[in-house]
Structure 1
Amino acid sequence: MAAEFLSSVGTSYQVDRILSEAVNEIVLLSPSMKLHESILLRLQQADQRNVRITLLYGRERNQTRGQKWYRDLKNLRILYHDKLNACVYRNEKELILTSMGLSDLGSGIFSDMGVLIARLRDRKAFDDGIYEQEVLIESAEEVFAGKNYVRIEEKTHPEELIRDMPFLTYFGIEDRTLVNGKVKAPSGKFYTPEMELYHDGTIKYQGFKKTRQRHGEWIFYTYEGFVREVVIYENGNYVNKIFCDYENPARAISKYYLLFGIGNSVKKLYDRNISELYFDSLVEDFTGSDRTKLFYHIERFIGKRAIFEQPVTFQDMVDQLYRAMYE
């Protein structure tokens, strides 16, 4: 079953459950910022669990006027986007697209409908939903940020960023030396590195800018660490997008992208610096003796068992993963 239809009662119940079960993050998109008291209670509980909360609202910007409930939430970020006209609620595992606004959840006054999308059942739809949310969030105006909600780009200097950015060889960068905050490519041109992380340190996306505009391949990752898609830009203009469909054996994923996902998973699971990780790197140099945790993480994401047979290098891991998926 790819998606589940929800009635008004079902929508209220499932949103309440999504908020209650959130472990890492909650994202709420609604044109109206007015909250039903049951939703406010769930957000307060999530904040106490240190769940990262993003609330994006639309229509009138001054909807926060006179509201005080959000000021004590340490892990909350509120943004405004004048083009927002959809209601979407999600945690790290499930997403609901509905006609029911935040103020109507739990009220039972109106007849609304919705659709529940689970990451495990329909990964592409779930990831597409996250991508569209991130596009809106990236261009939205920040209205409020709790004291624990520090954005990565605000606390990361270019020197720290380029030191930690992995897979530079793939981008043609051989020297991490910065000149005025930029790295020099073999062509002689200079590019500004950019990388953002999820709150647990997993890479969210990475790429380079040319004259302050996205240029070349930008790698976007899922929360689990795997490459979701690669978007190609030319001087800030969108050129093409490569979506990584892990469930379609007819569309093989590049071994480079599989390596990036494995490496990012290492960063997620072991909190290791992966800036020097590449195909010829030894697995145990990054995982120690506990490689099983990495194997299980990948096998669970792919949906296959017993993929790996004592790989020594990450090239071995990529080859074995590729065979399990496509041969």
Structure 2
Amino acid sequence: MAKFLNTSATNFYLEELIKNAKERLILISPYLRLNDRIKELLEDKNRLKIDIRIVYGKSDLHPDEIKWMQKLDYVRLSFCKNLHAKCYMNEAECIISSLNLYEFSQVNNNEMGISVRKYEDDDVFKDAYEEAQRIIRISDEVRITLDEVKVEQELAEASQNEESESNNFSKLTTSKLAAKYKLKTNDLLDKFVQKGFLTLSENGKHFITDLGKSVGGEFRSSQYGGYFLWDENTEI
């Protein structure tokens, strides 16, 4: 019988679903932005030569995701236009949920979902599996061919560009400000969201608010992406 999952249960069951995969793993989520825990679990399944299919729907792959994907021999990546479904399944269990992969472990969100086990609800599981296969069939498989060295060079240039901007304007990038307060960059971003300096969109991107600008925050863009600058005395 299907089991209802709240936010914490969805995170727990998804982690268990990935860990328990013995033959195959299908992850369908519009946004492909994986945290370290998900990457660690998938790397373990890759070492065990488990067939992993990931389908995403937003064509804004971050270089870090590309670089990471290149190292996994048993992961196949596909792009599906207009994808909004969030479905995660192995050979024995399926989770259908509001949870995007990038939101995994973010227990401050309010999520709902259901878990279906093949041996309990074979018909429902079969229908979900067939729909997942249909989505895979209509998706375009992505060939990860971006040169790893080139990615590293671009990221290095982006970092140098940020540092240069920071020096020119007597301000600190988010990572530099986080280091000053001995915090991780993501933790500082979360604090700035809580203080109202930034907002977080549905696809996991940060945007500066008027309040953030009033305390000296700025958004800067370059060919390698965008970043924020802050007054070095910004209170957290």
- Give TM-score, length-normalised by structure 2: 0.59
Q: CA deviation at 1:133?
A: 0.8
Aligned length: 144
2:59 equivalent among 50, 53, 61: 61
Q: How does 1:1-327 map to 2 (within 5 A)?
A: 2-58=1-57, 60-67=58-65, 68-144=67-143
Residue 41 of structure 2 aligns with an amino acid whose one-letter code is: R
Query: Alignment partner of 1:97: what SS?
Result: strand
What are the Cα deviations for residues 213-271 of structure 1, in whole angstroms up to 9, with x where unaligned?
xxxxxxxxxxxxxxxxxxxxxxxxxxxxxxxxxxxxxxxxxxxxxxxxxxxxxxxxxxx
Q: CA deviation at 1:33?
A: 0.3
Question: Do the aligned residues in 1 keep the contact of 2:54 with 2:77 (CA within 8 Å)?
Answer: yes
3-state DSSP class of the match of 1:96?
Answer: strand
Matching residue's letter, 1:114: G
- Between the two proteins, what is the percent identity of the paired residues? 25
Query: Equivalents in 2 of 1:31, 1:128: separation in Å?
Result: 20
Secondary structure of 2:120's match?
A: coil
Per-residue deviation at 1:70? 1.1
Contact 1:76 1:145 in 2 (8 A): no
Equivalents in 2 of 1:144, 1:35: separation in Å? 18
AA in 2 matched with 1:71: Q
| 1:87–1:99 Cα contact (<8 Å) kept | yes
The amino acid that maps onto 2:128 is G
Secondary structure in 2 aligned to 1:32?
Answer: coil
Displacement of 1:107 in angstroms is 2.2
**What letter matches 2:60 in structure 1?**
N
Secondary structure, counterpart of 2:143 in structure 1: strand
Higher helix share: 2
TM-score w.r.t. the length of structure 1 is 0.43
- Whole-angstrom CA distance in 1 between matches of 2:107 and 2:115: 18
**Aligned AA for 2:101?**
L
Distance 1:92-1:145 versus aligned 2 partners, 3 A rule: farther
Indicate the SS of the match to 2:141. strand
After superposition, the C-alpha distances for 1:150-169 in whole angstroms (9 at most, x for unaligned) are xxxxxxxxxxxxxxxxxxxx
Secondary structure of the residue aligned to 1:74 is coil
**Cα distance, 1:77–1:17 mapped onto 2, change above 3 Å:** same
Residue-by-residue CA offset, 1:24-50 (whole Å, 9 max, x unaligned): 010000000001221111000100111
- Which residue is 1:273 aligned to? none
Larger radius of gyration between Structure 1 and Structure 2: 1
Cα gap change, 1:64 to 1:81, in 2 (>3 Å): farther
Q: 1:90 Cα deviation (Å)?
A: 0.7
1:144 deviates by 3.2
- Amino acid paired to 1:62: D
Q: Which runs of 4+ in 1 moved over 6 A?
A: none
Q: Where do 5+ consecutive residues of structure 2 fail to align?
A: 146-236
Change (3 A) 1:25 1:127: same
Report the Cα offset of residue 99 of structure 1: 0.3
1:145 positional shift: 6.8
Root-mean-square deviation (Å): 1.5
The CA deviation at 1:64 is 4.7
Q: Secondary structure of 1:26's partner? A: strand
**2-structure distance, mates of 1:25, 1:17:** 14
Q: Which deviations, in whole Å up to 9, do the C-alpha atoms of 1:162-200 show, x marking residues without a partner?
A: xxxxxxxxxxxxxxxxxxxxxxxxxxxxxxxxxxxxxxx
1:243 paired residue number: none
Q: What is the CA-CA distance between 1:62 and the residue it aligns to?
A: 3.3
Q: Output one character per residue of 1:110-159: Cα deviation in whole Å (capped at 9) or x when no partner.
A: 1101100000000010000011111111111111379xxxxxxxxxxxxx
SS of residue matched to 2:103: coil
